[in-house]
Amino acid sequence: MKYRRIFVVVADSLGVGEMPDAAQYGDTGANTLKHLSYAKEDFSIPMLYRLGIGYLTDVHNCPPNTNPLASYGKMQELSVGKDTLTGHWEMMGLEVLTPFPSFTDTGFPPELIQELEERSGRKVIGNTSASGTEIMKDLGEEHMRTGALIVYTSADSVLQIAAHEEIVPIPELYHICEIAREITLNNPSWTVGRIIARPFIGTNKDDFARTPNRHDYAVKPFARTVLNELKDAKLDVIAIGKIRDIFEGEGITAFQKTKSNEDGMNKTIEIAKGDFKGLCFVNLVDFDAVYGHRRDAYGYATSVEAFDHQLKELVGLMRSDDLLIVTADHGNDPTHSGTDHTREYTPILVYNPLQPAKNLGIRGSFADIGVSIAHNFGVKPAKIGSSLFDKGE
C-alpha cells in the first residue's frame, strides 16, 4: 500500500470530447467541457489548469500547463450506453454489455402504470419524458388537487415520481418508489436503471421547488465490485452524494447525502481534514442534473468555476500518502441537441503532492480507476482495466 487514502471525485457529466463510437449514439461533435467553457467569456479554472486539464481538450482561457501538478489523460468507456450507473459501475470493475431500457419516446407501458396505481392507491398523471422542473410546474397544481403521482422519465433509464411533501409525505413517497422498483425488476423489459423520488414544496407553479429529499433506487450491481473487496478487507469506503444509491449500498461502509455540488465538496473537504484508511468516493450531480440536462451552458461554466475554487482547498489538504483522482462518468454537452447524456471521453487527473506528473494517454476503460485502487490496497482487482501505476510504483 502506497496511499493510505484515495479520493475519487466524479464531476458528473464533465466529458472532454466525443468517443470514436459517438455517431452510434447521435453524439457526433459533443464536447462538454470545451463547449461550456466558451459560453462564458471570462471562464476561469486556475486549479484545474494547474492540474493539467488543458491537455485533454480545447478549453477557453485554459491552455496546457507546461508544468502540470497532476498526471493527466482521457478514459474511454468500454461498456455500452452513456448513463450514470454504467459509468460508475465500470469505474469499479463491471462491464455493462446490455444498456438499461429507456422510455423517452413512448412513456411507460400501460400495464406498468396500472400496477403502480393499484399497489400505491394513487392515480398517475404525466407518464411522459420531461424536464423535472417543468413537469412540476405543469402538473404540480393538479397533483395537489387530486393527490395523483407525477410520473415521468427523461433520456436516461429512469422512472421518476414527483410529489408535494404535504400531499404525499416522504415516507409514503419512498414506499411508492420501492413498489415501482419491485414492479420494474419483475419484468426485464421494464428494468430501468433507477427509480427516483422527487419531492417538492410550494403553493403554486410560480414557487414550486424541489427539496433535498431526493432518493434513488438503483438496480443492484450484477457482480462484486472493487468496493466489495475494500469493505471485506476492513477498509473504509465512504460515499458522498449519490454514490451509495448508485451501488445500492453494496461495498459502502459510510455515506453522506448532499444538497448541492458545494455541499458535496464541503463534506469531502471535512473528511480530508480527518482521517480514514481506504476510499472516499464522491459524486457531484449538479453539473448533470441542474445544467447539462437543461442545456444551460453558462450555468454549467459557472458551476465548474465554483468547483475549481473548492478543488483548490481539497488539493491543499492532500497528504504525502493521499491520492486524488478527478474524473467523470459520461458527457452531457449543454450545446448538444436534445437533453440526453453524450457519449464522450472522460477526464482523469491523478494528483499526489510528491508524484511527478505524466501523460496517462487514452485509457481503455473507466475500470482503470478501480484496478488502481485495488492494486494500491492489495485487494482482488476486477477482470477489466489496467493499473494507472507503473510496476513498482
Answering whether pTM is above 0.85, one says yes
Nearest partner of 150 among 111, 124, 129, 177, judged by Cα: 124
Q: What is the pLDDT of residues 243-257, one digit of tens each?
A: 999 999 999 999 999
Cα torsion angle, 91, 343, 150, 139, sign: positive
Is 90 exceeded by the pLDDT of residue 279? yes
Is 70 exceeded by the pLDDT of residue 314? yes
Specify the range with the lowest mean pLDDT, choosing from 95-104, 219-228, 229-238, 254-263.
95-104
| Helix (H) / strand (E) containing 278 | strand 278-284
Is 50 exceeded by the pLDDT of residue 262? yes
Is 90 exceeded by the pLDDT of residue 269? yes
Q: Are 68 and 113 in contact (CB under 8 A)?
A: no
Is 90 exceeded by the pLDDT of residue 278? yes
How confident is the model at residue 392, as a pLDDT? 43
d(CA 170, CA 164): 9
How confident is the model at residue 247, as a pLDDT? 96
Q: Look up cell 476503460; give the residue.
A: 365
Domains and CATH numbers, the chain: 5-97+221-377 (3.40.720.10), 110-218 (3.30.70.1250)
Share of the chain above pLDDT 70, in %: 99
d(CA 289, CA 330): 13
Neighbours of 20 (CB within 10 A): 10
Q: What is the pLDDT of residues 217-227, one digit of tens each?
A: 989 999 999 99
pLDDT band at residue 133 using 50, 70 and 90 as cut-offs: confident
d(CA 391, CA 389): 6
Q: What is the pLDDT of residues 156-202, one digit of tens each?
A: 899 999 999 999 999 999 999 999 999 999 999 999 999 999 999 99
Q: What is the pLDDT of residues 325-348, one digit of tens each?
A: 999 999 999 999 988 899 999 999
d(CA 148, CA 95): 38
Q: What is the pLDDT of residues 191-201, one digit of tens each?
A: 999 999 999 99
pLDDT average, residue stretch 107-114: 97
Q: What is the pLDDT of residues 14-71, one digit of tens each?
A: 999 999 999 999 999 999 999 999 999 999 999 999 999 999 999 999 999 999 999 9
Average pLDDT, the chain: 96
How confident is the model at residue 105, as a pLDDT? 86
